Structure 1
């Protein structure tokens, strides 16, 4: 009778995982990770670029692939640059800081092309996609909203920062070059403040939002033709898992006054308490503006586009590509706060905006009223279910804009096709679902007239796209 022992196999696996490889990186995968091959098996090595010759240590062996850690770059890519952030190799926020910016755009464009090909879009269509100039901003200091994590060690000392790559542990951040200027260097201040608190572990996380310092009561006070950058204010939402005491409240007040912060505490009951008693602005009355003078008011928990400059350019391009006319009835699906709906309504006959969350519908309606736009109405509906029976869907729309979440708009697209709307503008934040939904439209007789990158998240793997379809 034969005896089989697992121990020797484990030793073999451990030995393999200590193996050192010298390989040539062939390409980047969809996450921006370098892919090499060793004995015909793909080896994934973070921090590497195509055409680099590297030494790497195997850290995990799988049946179909190998994970390895970069040790030495023997021959560097001509497109490699020094990462601007000192935390790049540890922090999980950015993926491709080591790749020069023009090549980042090429990587994202090729990612879309590859996913379109995989989805079944005809090869001749993919080869002749009518690419337009990408929407870009400064690749640094662009992010106006972020969630900062807070963790404590056994000595109750705080770690302030973002999650490390592939783990829930935080990287201790000193500064973040993709955050806008009021927020980029806030981390040491927060660390010092939190370590002074008497009840430190009451803090779950801290949301930071940088917005235009606008008047939320009178649009006439905003000079939309001014070349001066609008003043910025920094709002902090402190997530408290239990009530704050008077000592800690005064400490936060001191830092808020010294650094010109608006600070609010959010507890388990979702109530927000403003410690800036003299401030007229609350966590539920933040705002940003668009290039055409429209002001979007929102609260701290609402979704907004995190790159203000790109958002403004994106709205302008949507207006240009859809070319709204005075006789157009336009449907805006997944409309949010009215980011696209309100600018479109300024030029169209009528815009109907539809959103799944009633509170967002209410705020979009309030934004229309605030901006004195009376030809734009908003409705609540689950766009991932049947909605053609709704009264608002009975209009004779000739144009539609879709701006779905990462899950895409498959069911909504199927119903839009039934409405026989001739012009469709699709704004996507996920190329996989965009490819799937584009295939549906192409099979039903739509043609891609224009397609362009939207670089909302520079230095990262994330890709946003705008596509214009005509029947």
Structure 2
């Protein structure tokens, strides 16, 4: 490698990487520069040397991209929660199209060059879209702050007016920090490990109902805080405590207890309503979830006699879109509260052809097949880590005729397609911008069993 640590170099940015950074070559060495845009000439300083590439800090832009914009967020560079707010929004969508292409080129699943890559569906107003926040808490002197950790650190950046966060959830967490200070509630730190670590606030777009989780490493007395908080925000209907006593970076522990209010909030998507308990997963962007679910319904051509498996089903929301179109729907999730919600939601909607079970897809699908239940159609919506190896093998062995893969990580998607395209062909990939101003994307992949 022809570079040294702290060396300052000029660089032409040839493209953007999957994390939103600019990429250029210095004497054949790949260099990643956060904040740089395709087409720019920059001056940067090497901050890290890896085996096959280097990382650098942007010092100066000698030639600006015509698509560079000034981020509306005053702490954009400090926070790191968004990565591409400095890129004009329509070009953010082009970048996300290219993310899919880059991932496919890297992993090269069968026939990838012939896939139909559809244009990413964006938002008209790409701000204040996040209906759920998970802010870390820390004490600064005599006051409590809440926000996100700066990139690659445990240094908290206080957020009081996040431009991608729903305004009501932001107002509520601001009030929470004031009340935590007022009532001297213990706040977690890495040394003492006692007190509140994280505050989760989620609003249902349809009902405007709000639920809160205080993640803590110890018992708390929150009665006075809860009373004052509810008086300020009558939209709050659920307050829960989650106990996380570990030193890991995991946000939640296993035990969640509702200490005030009702168990669930009511949300809607497409043409149906459902309940969400505090720990149950649901998409963060309600407006774009309508778009995403519409695309999933388009991609899966079901018939009345089909049996459908909805892997990683959460509270059942994706499967419900098909329950009145197929013979049966089965779903699984590892979070017991989510499966309980799924069962109650199905009952409330009058579905008698649904079945939900707690467990991993790679364990339950073979068990169901052994018991005689065979799927004609399959939906998978895995976490960012993608499909488990065992589940991939299970899918290949079970080989349902029709499949839709909903991905939140194009790298693990492309990796998994290498295996899946042994028996499936990819009809198309349709991306939906669930997270404007970030380098994240959601993709719906229509797969059909090869003849």
State the match for 1:411 in structure 2: 390
Q: Which whole-Å CA distance do the structure 2 matches of 1:60 and 1:417 have between them?
A: 41
By how many angstroms is 1:178 displaced?
Answer: 0.8
CA spacing shift, 1:36–1:347, aligned 2, 3 Å:
same
Q: How does 1:73-222 map to 2 (within 5 A)?
A: 73-122=61-110, 125-137=111-123, 138-153=125-140, 155-186=141-172, 188-201=174-187, 202-212=195-205
CA spacing shift, 1:318–1:49, aligned 2, 3 Å:
same
Q: Which whole-Å CA distance do the structure 2 matches of 1:314 and 1:433 have between them?
A: 19
Gapped regions of structure 2 (runs ≥ 5): 188-194, 244-254
Q: TM-score, normalised by structure 1?
A: 0.83
Q: 2:31 aligns with which of 34, 37, 43?
A: 43
Q: Which whole-Å CA distance do the structure 1 matches of 2:280 and 2:178 have between them?
A: 29
By how many angstroms is 1:76 displaced?
Answer: 1.0
State the match for 1:235 in structure 2: 211
Q: Which whole-Å CA distance do the structure 1 matches of 2:185 and 2:357 have between them?
A: 44
State the match for 1:260 in structure 2: 234
By how many angstroms is 1:129 displaced?
Answer: 1.4
1:447 equivalent to 2:425? Answer yes
Gapped regions of structure 1 (runs ≥ 5): 1-12, 213-229, 275-280
CA spacing shift, 1:182–1:359, aligned 2, 3 Å:
closer
Between stretches 230-239 and 388-397, larger displacement belongs to 388-397
1:70 equivalent to 2:58? Answer yes
Q: Which whole-Å CA distance do the structure 1 matches of 2:94 and 2:160 have between them?
A: 31
Larger Rg: 1
By how many angstroms is 1:325 displaced?
Answer: 2.5
CA spacing shift, 1:133–1:209, aligned 2, 3 Å:
same
By how many angstroms is 1:357 displaced?
Answer: 4.1
Q: Which whole-Å CA distance do the structure 1 matches of 2:397 and 2:49 have between them?
A: 49
Q: How does 1:182-331 map to 2 (within 5 A)?
A: 182-186=168-172, 188-201=174-187, 202-212=195-205, 230-245=206-221, 249-262=223-236, 264=239, 266=241, 268=243, 270-274=256-260, 281-282=261-262, 284-292=263-271, 294-331=272-309
Match of 1:235, SS state, is strand
Q: Whose strand fraction is larger, Structure 1's or Structure 2's?
A: 2
By how many angstroms is 1:143 displaced?
Answer: 0.8
State the match for 1:221 in structure 2: none
Two-structure CA RMSD over aligned residues (Å): 2.5
Q: Which whole-Å CA distance do the structure 1 matches of 2:411 and 2:371 have between them?
A: 28
By how many angstroms is 1:465 displaced?
Answer: 1.0
Count residues with an aligned counterpart: 426
By how many angstroms is 1:203 displaced?
Answer: 2.6
Q: TM-score, normalised by structure 2?
A: 0.86
Q: Which whole-Å CA distance do the structure 2 matches of 1:453 and 1:82 have between them?
A: 26
Between stretches 197-206 and 40-49, larger displacement belongs to 197-206
Between stretches 180-189 and 77-86, larger displacement belongs to 180-189
By how many angstroms is 1:80 displaced?
Answer: 1.0
By how many angstroms is 1:185 displaced?
Answer: 4.3
Match of 1:115, SS state, is helix
By how many angstroms is 1:206 displaced?
Answer: 0.9
Partners of 2:240 and 2:278 within 8 A in 1: no
Q: Which whole-Å CA distance do the structure 1 matches of 2:226 and 2:334 have between them?
A: 36
CA spacing shift, 1:466–1:19, aligned 2, 3 Å:
same
Partners of 2:279 and 2:338 within 8 A in 1: no
State the match for 2:338 in structure 1: 360
CA spacing shift, 1:466–1:299, aligned 2, 3 Å:
same
Partners of 2:97 and 2:117 within 8 A in 1: no
Q: Which runs of 4+ in 1 moved over 6 A?
A: none
Partners of 2:5 and 2:49 within 8 A in 1: yes
CA spacing shift, 1:436–1:243, aligned 2, 3 Å:
closer
Partners of 1:240 and 1:265 within 8 A in 2: no
Partners of 1:243 and 1:267 within 8 A in 2: no
By how many angstroms is 1:64 displaced?
Answer: 4.4
Q: Which whole-Å CA distance do the structure 1 matches of 2:361 and 2:399 have between them?
A: 17
Q: Please list the CA deviations of residues 249-291 of structure 1 after superposition, one character each: whole Å capped at 9, or x if unmatched.
A: 43442243123352625163632311xxxxxx52x21221112
Q: Which whole-Å CA distance do the structure 1 matches of 2:219 and 2:235 have between them?
A: 20
By how many angstroms is 1:386 displaced?
Answer: 7.3
Partners of 1:24 and 1:52 within 8 A in 2: yes
Partners of 1:142 and 1:179 within 8 A in 2: yes
Partners of 1:352 and 1:392 within 8 A in 2: no
